[in-house]
Structure 1
Amino acid sequence: MPRQIHYNAAEHISAETAADPYLRPAFSLSNRLRRLVWNICRALLYRLSPKPLHAWRSFLLRLFGARMGRGCHFYPSSKVWAPWNLVCADQVTAADGAEIYNPSPVTLGSHVILSQDAYICGATHDYNDPAFPLIAYAMSFGEYAWVCARASVAPGVNMGEGAVLGLGSVATRNLDPWSVYAGVPAVKVRDRDRAQPTETT
C-alpha cells in the first residue's frame, strides 16, 4: 500500500513567493512564527530543565498543543519539531538526543521508547517534481515499540505494536508487530516475545 502524503508544500505555498522554487518556504508564515516561539521556549525552559522534571517538559509540550498521556518521560535534549503534531499515550519515553521531526502528526502508543539519538523523520521532498516541494506523512508507533539508540525511521514508515528497530538501523518500510529489525535498510531478524510487564496497583 503506497504511503499517503499528509502535507504537500506545493498545495499550500504560492508559487508567487519566489521565482526559484528552491527558495520558497515549505510552511506558512504563521507556522514558522509558531515554531520560532516554541524553539525559544525549548531553549530557555525545556532544554535547561533538570532531568527529573519530566512533568514540567510534558506541561510545556501540552502548552504548545501536544497531547501527552500520563507518566511520559521526555528528556531535556530530546527534540520535538512541532508539539501540536505530537500525540503520546501513557508512559512514552524520548531519551536525550531523540528527535521527532513531525511536520505532520506523529502518534506514539503506550510505552513507546525512543532511545538516545533516535531520529523520527516525518518529511522529505518530491524529487520528481521540478519545484522540489516538501512532503510530509502522518506516522504511528504501536504500543511497546522501541526505536533503539541512533536508529532512524524514514518518512511515512509505521511501527507495529511491540516492534523493535535495532541499534543504528534505518527503517524504510513498515515494521510488523512483535518483530525485531536490524540493518541498513532494516530487515526482520527475529520475533519478539509478546510478554508485557504486569501493572501493579
Structure 2
Amino acid sequence: MNNYIKKSSSFLSELRLYLCNHFISNIPSHTIRLLFYREFMSFNIGKGSSIFMGCKFDCARGLTIGVNSVINARCRLDSRGGLIIGDNVSISEDVIILTADHDMDAADFAGRNKNVIIEDYAWIGTRAMILPGINTGKGAVIAAGSVVTKNVNAFQVVAGVPAKFIKMRNQNLEYKNNYKRLFQ
C-alpha cells in the first residue's frame, strides 16, 4: 500500500508540473496564472509582480518573488534548490536560472541542489543563464547572453561567457517594476 501511495503522489506531482508548464503558462491572463502558481505550485509571489507567458518551472515550491518584480516570457526557473528573487527585479525573456546540477566526479553522478538569490533591483538580460549557488547582489546587472558562474556583487555590471565584471551601476535606484502587458 505504501508503494502505491508514493507512485500516486509522484504521478500527481508530475501532472501538476505538466499542466503548469504546458497549459497554465500559456493562458493569456496574469490573474489566472498567478492564482495557479500561488495556490497549486505553492510559489510565494509578492504584490505587483508578474510572470509572463511561456515560463517553465522544474518543480513546485521553493520559489519566492518579492514585490513589483517582472519575469518576462519563456524563462526557465528551477526552484529545486530554492530560488529567491527580490523586489523590483527585472528578468528579461528567455533567461534560465538553475538551482540543481550533478556532481560529475561522483561515481553515482549524484544530484546537488544549491539555492540562488537575486537581490532587489537586479536586472537580468535576455538569454542570460545563472548557475546553481549564485548570489546576485542588489542593483546588479547581468548582460544579455551572459553565463554567470560566480557571485555578482551589488551594483556590478557583468557580461560574457563566463560573466566578468564590466563596470559599476548607478546606486540611486528607486523605480518600481510593476508593469503588465495584455495577453502576456
TM range (shorter): 0.7 to 0.9
**Letter of the 2:27 counterpart:** S
Large movers: runs of 4+ above 3 Å:
28-33
2:37 to 48, 61, 79: 61
**Letter of the 1:68 counterpart:** I
Name the structure 1 match of 2:139: 162
Instruction: Show CA shifts across 1:79-136 (max 9, x none).
Output: 2222311011101211111111121210000011211111101111011110001111
Partners of 2:175 and 2:127 lie apart in 1 by 29
Partners of 1:198 and 1:118 lie apart in 2 by 22
Residue 49 in structure 1 maps to residue 27 in structure 2: yes
Partners of 1:66 and 1:137 lie apart in 2 by 18
Residue 35 in structure 1 maps to residue 14 in structure 2: yes
Secondary structure at 2:165's aligned position in 1?
Answer: strand
Secondary structure at 2:136's aligned position in 1?
Answer: coil
Q: Is the 8 A contact 2:21 2:54 kept in 1?
A: no
Residue 101 in structure 1 maps to residue 65 in structure 2: no
Q: CA deviation at 1:198?
A: 5.4
TM-score normalized by the length of structure 2 = 0.85
Bigger shift: residues 96-105 or 141-150: 96-105
Aligned-pair identity in percent equals 27
Q: CA deviation at 1:181?
A: 0.2
Partners of 1:48 and 1:198 lie apart in 2 by 29
**Letter of the 2:14 counterpart:** R
1:187 to 164, 178, 181: 164
1:129 to 102, 106, 113: 106
Aligned residues: 169
- Structure 2 vs 1, CA of residues 33 and 132 (structure 1 numbering), >3 Å: closer, same or farther? farther
Instruction: Show CA shifts across 1:145-196 (max 9, x none).
Output: 1110000001111101111110100110000001100011101100000122
TM-score normalized by the length of structure 1 = 0.78
CA RMSD of aligned residues (A): 1.7
Partners of 1:47 and 1:179 lie apart in 2 by 32
Partners of 1:137 and 1:144 lie apart in 2 by 22
Name the structure 1 match of 2:64: 87
**Letter of the 2:22 counterpart:** A
**Letter of the 1:62 counterpart:** R
Secondary structure at 1:82's aligned position in 2?
Answer: coil
Partners of 1:32 and 1:68 lie apart in 2 by 26
**Letter of the 1:49 counterpart:** I
Partners of 2:175 and 2:37 lie apart in 1 by 29
- Structure 2 vs 1, CA of residues 138 and 169 (structure 1 numbering), >3 Å: closer, same or farther? same
Q: Is the 8 A contact 2:21 2:55 kept in 1?
A: no
5+ long unaligned stretches in structure 2? 1-5, 177-184
Partners of 2:13 and 2:141 lie apart in 1 by 33
